[in-house]
Every structure is written in C-alpha cells, then in structure tokens.
Amino acid sequence: MKTEIAKLTRKNFKSVLGRAQTLIRKGKLVVFPTETVYGLGADATNERALEKIYKAKGRPSDNPIIVHVANLRQLKLLAQNPSFFEQKLIKRFWPGPLTIIFSKRKKISNIVSGGLSTVAVRMPSHPFARDLISQAGVPIAAPSANISGRPSGTLGRHLLEDLSGRVDLIVDAGPSGIGLESTVIKIEKDKILILRPGAVTREMLKKVSGQEVVFAKSKKDLQFSPGTKYRHYAPKAKLEIFKDARALKKRLAILKKKNKKVEILKKRNLKEASKNLYRDLRALDARGVDIILAGAYPAQDLGAAIMDRLRRASMR
C-alpha cells in the first residue's frame, strides 16, 4: 500500500480535509490529528474498514476502539440514552479529551466494541478532527496512530515510522497538543470510575459532578477501556521507574559499570511531560538505549496520567 502524506497548512486545510473525508467514506484508513495524540481513523459503521484498523496496528481483537463524533446527533446513533450525570459531563468536557463508556445500540459492530455491550465515545476539540468527522458524515473509530504496544504517535515522523505502507493517508498537523490519550470513564450509580487517566483529571471530574471519583483497579472494570489490558506505550528499551532520586542515581552507576547503554528520561513540569513523554521515549529508542531510567511524578492531577503511561510502558 502506498501511503499519501499531507503536511497540513492553513492554505491546504480544505483540500486535505476533502481528500481525507473521501477516503473515510470509501472505507480507507486515515491518520489524523486530535488534541490528545494522532488517531488512526476509519468509518465506525463499516466493518471491513474496522478490521483494517486492527490489521494495520497489529491490535488484539478484544481491545475496544474509541469512536469519535462531531455532534450529539452522532452520539445518539451509537449509544443508548445518556444518564443525567453523563449529560452533565458531556456539557462540561465535550469537545475535549474525555471518553465516556456508554451502553451501545445493538446495530453497533462488536468489532469496534471489542465484543462488549458498551461503546467508548468522545468528541475531539481539534478543528481538523471535528471537520473530518462532520464532513465524512459518519462517526470515526480511531485508536492511537501507532503499532500496538508502542508509544503513541505525537509527531509526523512517529506516524511514518510505524504506519507508512499500512494506511492510505497521513495528515501531519505538527506536534500533538496534550500528548497523552484521553481520559476514559465509566459512570456507575453512585460514582465515576476512571479506567484510564488523562488530561481531564480526577479532581476536575469530582468538582463538576459532585460524585465520588475513583481509579478502577479490577480487570472486570478495566476491560471496557482501550489501553488497559495489554502492555502499552512501551519503548523498545527496558523502562525502570524510581520514586527516590538517590535510588535512580545508584541504579545508573551500577548499570554503567556493567557497560549498559542507559539514559535518564528528562524530568519536566507536568504539562511539558505530558506533551513530550512519547517523543522522549521514542528519541531514546532511536539512540539505541538498552535501559531508560525514569523519575516518578506525583500521582495526582495530570501526574496520574503520566504515571499510568510510565507504569504500563515498564511492564514486561
């Protein structure tokens, strides 16, 4: 497969948008920008197109895909009637980096839901993403644009490294704004479960909803979200996390004595760490590092999302 590359600018926005929506309608694969990370998109109502996503990424078939919508009319096509609290969160956080798990309508393919009775939906805020979904006239299923298990794509070169020859079009709009995937939540009767932390934090959800907000831990709950069942976001190098700076330095000295090629992941403020995490991990991989040592972040606010990605990336 020959992959088209389109570097998005103000001048070519409409023409690139037109090409992208045409390909989506034809059941093709389009990598497009969102405010979180790049998405690998296909028509969520086309089962053949959905199967292409799993093949391109090498993604397990029981890993659900988030469906992106441009408006609430499209949500009604996918989900049964949202609850009061779901509507409250939609009003506050959509469009934006929040994915909500809904009970799905029967006509929604089991391919996109990973065989579950639910569907994960969000409304992106990136203007190209919103216009693409709107003009294509269908909800777009889009996991992160990367080979399954690898760090998500946040720069054009990441997309080319992983997906050139696997997708029909890559729309390169520059660096992703947030740099981490969306927050995924599931609303129970008396609380909100965070299945995957992101830029919409526990503190933000609690303030808006007035409900108890907890991080899901059981496999039964986590199965409803992508990015929770398998090793994800991982560099080729082994990643080790340290809460104590002294322990990190001691480990560094030991590894250097063993002639290991080891590097320390750059420590940044939370916003910059979020934006650059996958870029930094991929850059260290490109330098042929054997082991990456990372200092821990506080596990609250955006730090919870960063630590979630680091922990999953360190799994073996």
Q: What is the pLDDT of residue 121?
A: 98
Q: What is the pLDDT of residue 230?
A: 65
Residues 6+ apart with CB under 8 A from 109: 44, 45, 47, 50
Q: Which domains does the chain have, with CATH numbers?
A: 4-222 (3.90.870.10), 238-313 (3.40.50.11030)
Nearest partner of 275 among 169, 157, 140, 151, judged by Cα: 151
Q: What is the pLDDT of residue 207?
A: 95
Residues 6+ apart with CB under 8 A from 235: 150, 151, 281, 282, 284, 285, 292, 313
Q: What is the pLDDT of residue 272?
A: 98
Q: How far is CA 270 from the centre of its chain?
A: 18
Dihedral sign for Cα 36, 131, 104, 55, please.
Answer: negative
Sheet with 291-295: strands ordered across: 238-242, 291-295, 262-264
Q: What is the pLDDT of residue 223?
A: 83
Give pTM, 2 decimals. Answer: 0.95
Q: Which two tokens stand for residue 295?
A: 């200092």
Q: How far is CA 272 from the centre of its chain?
A: 17
Report long-range pairs for 71-78 (Cβ below 8 Å, ≥24 apart).
71/123, 71/134, 74/133, 74/138, 74/139, 75/102, 75/121, 75/123, 77/105, 77/139, 78/44, 78/102, 78/104, 78/105, 78/108, 78/119, 78/121, 78/139
Whether the CB-CB separation of 90 and 209 falls below 8 Å is answered with no
Annotated binding site: 36, 59, 63, 68, 118, 122, 142, 144, 152, 182, 196, 233
Q: What is the pLDDT of residue 59?
A: 87
Q: What is the mean pLDDT, run by run of 10 residues, along the chain of 316 residues?
A: 96 98 98 98 97 94 93 95 92 98 94 94 98 98 95 96 97 98 93 97 95 90 77 91 96 96 97 98 96 96 97 90
Residue type at position 276 = N
Q: What is the pLDDT of residue 281?
A: 97
Sequence-ordered strand ranges (E) for the chain: 4-7, 30-32, 39-43, 67-68, 98-103, 118-122, 140-141, 169-172, 183-187, 191-196, 212-215, 238-242, 262-264, 291-295
Annotated binding site for ATP: 59, 63, 118, 144, 152, 196, 233
Annotated binding site for L-threonine: 36, 68, 122, 142, 182
